[in-house]
Chain A
């Protein structure tokens, strides 16, 4: 998520006409990750085997399609140790990426990245962030009584709960958790931060366990990190 946050910080300032200069880390490993993750799009991107998807801007649904497909293909055809996570990663990118474009309502777009982590366990880490209106404000258009941001996020993850009036919407989060349960994974953990809310959902081959945790500060937009740990 740190790479996505940095990239959005850079893009936001540049979009406002401010000059942003980045200094690449001197530590060789940090430098390799910094360049591979495309944290500053003005710098050349280098390849690194754990970078499944560098930070990518998604302003249109077509880009979500591309990112979701490429993520699944890389996982299933190129990274054998985490290949069973391909379908769950596809579902996450397509549903949550689509949500971000649909409900995010901001010109900068939504940003996503996917990395493989091999220690201490083999896992795929997905991050999606945007500076849009945030989940609590969106969901309160339909449910104004949900005043607590953390609980508003928690309720928004339930099936058929949506900020729109369409009874068939609001299936994104539940689809993501269902895909995790039908995938050969050890566990999954999703952290959602938006406005003053922090919600954590854990999946360990059972129904998702939802916790509302104290948020340390207000965060504009929506910031989702999803770690899928392979068996």
Chain B
């Protein structure tokens, strides 16, 4: 079962590390028994590197370490958002597939 987490619900931009932490906790609670969670960045204008590190890269790290029971992918990201997210993943040397 796949679960979609629409980030645009939280605003057009995603700026800070505490917000990333808050949304990561929220996502883990909502994902329930989903096999895969799609991080849906549709409608997001910009994201900061701190947010991307705390939300996406740390989540990808938790997936790799088996701390959460689902896999993740990233969808709907604009080129600017995708660049920041990929950089965050690279910094932590983790991976998460981008889907169209």
| A→B interface (CB under 8 Å) | 61, 64-65, 68-69, 72-73, 76, 86-87, 90-91, 93-95, 97-98, 102, 168, 171-172, 175, 178, 182
A109 smallest CB distance to B (angstroms)? 15
Contacts of B51 in A (CB 8 A): 94
Contacts of B92 in A (CB 8 A): 168
How many angstroms from the CA of A178 to the CA of B11 in the assembled complex?
A: 23
How many angstroms from the CA of A68 to the CA of B47 in the assembled complex?
A: 10
Contacts of B16 in A (CB 8 A): 61, 64-65, 94, 98
| B→A interface (CB under 8 Å) | 11-19, 45-46, 48-51, 53, 57, 80, 83-84, 87, 91-92
**A-B residue pair count with CB separations less than 8 angstroms:** 72
Q: Report whether B15 and A94 are in contact in the complex, using a CB–CB cutoff of 8 Å.
A: yes
Q: Report whether B50 and A69 are in contact in the complex, using a CB–CB cutoff of 8 Å.
A: no
Q: Report whether A65 and B46 are in contact in the complex, using a CB–CB cutoff of 8 Å.
A: no
Nearest 6 CB-CB pairings of A with B? A94-B15, A175-B49, A94-B48, A69-B13, A68-B15, A61-B16
- Given A65-B15, A69-B11, A95 contacting B46 (CB threshold 8 A): no
Q: Report whether A65 and B19 are in contact in the complex, using a CB–CB cutoff of 8 Å.
A: yes
Contacts of A72 in B (CB 8 A): 13, 45-46
Contacts of A65 in B (CB 8 A): 11, 13-16, 19
Q: Report whether B15 and A69 are in contact in the complex, using a CB–CB cutoff of 8 Å.
A: yes
Q: Report whether A175 and B11 are in contact in the complex, using a CB–CB cutoff of 8 Å.
A: no
How many angstroms from the CA of A178 to the CA of B14 in the assembled complex?
A: 17
24 interchain pairs, CB-CB under 8 A: A61-B19, A65-B11, A68-B13, A68-B48, A72-B13, A72-B45, A73-B12, A76-B45, A87-B46, A90-B46, A90-B48, A91-B46, A91-B49, A94-B13, A94-B15, A94-B16, A95-B50, A168-B57, A168-B92, A171-B50, A171-B53, A172-B49, A178-B49, A178-B87
Contacts of B46 in A (CB 8 A): 72, 86-87, 90-91
